[in-house]
Amino acid sequence: MVSMASELRPVIITGMSGGGLSSAARVFEDKGYFVSQNLPPQLIIELMDLAAEKSSPVDKLAVVTDVRARIFKGSLMDVIDKAHERGYNPFVLFLEARDDVLIKRFDSVRRTHPLQDDNPLHVGITRERAELARVRQAADVIIDSSNLSIHDLRRAIEASVGDLDSTKQHVTIESFGFKHGSPRDADLVFDVRFLPNPYWIEELRDFRGIDAPVSDYVLSRPGADEFVDGVVNLLSSMMAGYKHEGKDFVTVGIGCTGGHHRSVAVSEEIGRRLNERGDVGVSVMHRDLNRN
């Protein structure tokens, strides 16, 4: 039996087939993790125990598992529950994408879905969503890769995960454009389209919210400062409750029309003010900054 004092925090990477699991595995490999892929459920706990031994050369462990492991006895929820029982605090990262995006990805590599059988591809995707529903609900962080390039996905994973060795909770502030769809991986979503749009000011149009001319303009508009203060105070009041419920990672979406100006400037300012408080880890990412 592993001691409750075990410092190992194993990472479980899972989610939809085609959602970006392989890309996530590479991110953790680059961060110095020992990464094992496609282990049967009953072997995942054994690997955690081996890594937790004092003589183990592994101090950071990540396991990638998907719906293909269903052919073995046990389930991923069983693994998560047993890991907690044995004194671990597993971090569960769930990768997903919209159905239409998953279909395009499978078509591009001419692969069949593991749950497709003799049915159309969308049937396999629907079955997989149903099978993984409980795991998704138990995940610490959910990342929707639908609108992300490989490089954007890497940045999203790094931003959302933060420093797993830290005892602080972690907040990711993600700007986005509503015209590209709301982020399905956000715990909270705020709309800053009530602020004037710099796009309609010719000398500001080609700048972005990370640039001083746009940032200064957006944050000086009536209501902007009060909004930022309100979000920071709201998050600060909620984090203790999240902690009590075992939620250490929170993603906040800040949206405007295109994700270029208002949401970016406001996200940067919220991140700055949260950092000043020093009681949570903070990452800021801009999903649609470079999209047309």
* First-to-last C-alpha distance (Å) of the chain: 54
- 142: exposed, middle or buried (C-beta count within 10 Å: 0-12, 13-18, 19+)? buried
List b or e across 227-260, with b for residues whose CB sees 16 or more CB atoms inside 10 angstroms. bbeebbeebeeebeebeeeeebbbbbbbbbbbbb
Phi, psi of 168 (to 5 degrees): -75, 150
Give the tokens for residue 151: 């490089």
- Enumerate the known binding-site residues for GTP: 66-69
Beta sheet of 249-256, edge-to-edge order: 188-191, 249-256, 169-177, 280-286
DSSP codes, 69-127: GGGSSS-HHHHHHHHHHTT---EEEEEE--HHHHHHHHHHHT---TTTTTS-HHHHHHH
CA distance 280 to 37: 31
Distance CA 125, CA 131 (A): 10
Give the annotated binding-site residues. 66-69
